[in-house]
Amino acid sequence: MKIQFYKYQGAGNDFILVDNRKMAFDHQNPTIIAQICNRRFGIGGDGMMFLQDKEGYDFEMIYYNADGQPSSMCGNGGRCIVAFAKFLNVIDSDTEFLAVDGSHYAKISAAGTWVSLQMIDVECVTRDGEAYVLNTGSPHYVALTNDLKHKNVYQDGFAIRNNATYLKEGININFVEPMEQGYFVRTFERGVEDETYACGTGVTAVALAMAIYNKQHGHINTPVKVLGGNLNIRFDYDGQKFTNIFLEGPAMQVFNGTMDLNY
């Protein structure tokens, strides 16, 4: 069986997308998903998404990690599927869609390459030593560091993600270093089990954690540099709860083709 796919990237986070409104793809097989996401034996990607119909919404986002397992929310994936929905003429300039963590509003530029995605509100932020732990649709660990450019993110991220506290459920590990404007962030992602070029829920977690660290309140705008480019996070914080959180950045189609599901 052959099926049409589209490859998108958002600040270097790359995804395989399928228009599954006719339910032609049965995505209940993690082995097939993992093989498709494999960069040597498949198409290659940080994850795979299916755009499906959902009553009461413009569409539903079904997301799988590169290991083939169902995932929690993916911020850059969410922005890419919004761009995909515009490409398919499912939406025009804004949308309300359903993801695993609930309803999301998003707005896309006329060119279809810049997406502002509203994330879930966040109230609970805990500490693990000096690090911040919070859920922005996916669980994140945020640690300030120095000389991030030369840090062994795979080694250090792997160690934290697999320690006794986080081994069972997994967690994404974000290392952050202040820059002249905003922050530089590198992330080790669970499910991918490696460093990725960007992580949308991760940079969102970093921006919120740094607002607490810097004792900021009110409307806050946080530019973030990742290995794959630049993102922006804006939100409101009253000292207790983060609301009106938007993750903003590029989302672009790279190529498309057909894949054979019989291998």
Catalytic residues: 74, 199
Tell me the pairing of strands 2-10 and 252-260. Answer: antiparallel
Could you tell me the two tokens for 71?
């995932």
Q: What are phi and psi of 76, to 5 degrees?
A: -70, -30
- The amino acid sitting at 54 is K
Q: Which residues, in sequence order, are CB contacts of 161 under 8 Å at separation 6+?
A: 141, 167, 170, 171, 172, 173, 188, 190, 193
* Cα separation, 128 vs 175, whole angstroms: 14
* Cα separation, 169 vs 190, whole angstroms: 9
Q: What are phi and psi of 156, to 5 degrees?
A: -70, -40
Q: Is the dihedral of CA 246, 147, 215, 166 positive or negative?
A: positive
Could you tell me the two tokens for 140?
């994140």
* Cα separation, 36 vs 78, whole angstroms: 20
In whole angstroms, how far apart are CA 147 and each of 157, 164, 179, 256? 15, 27, 11, 38
Tell me the pairing of strands 60-65 and 47-52. Answer: antiparallel
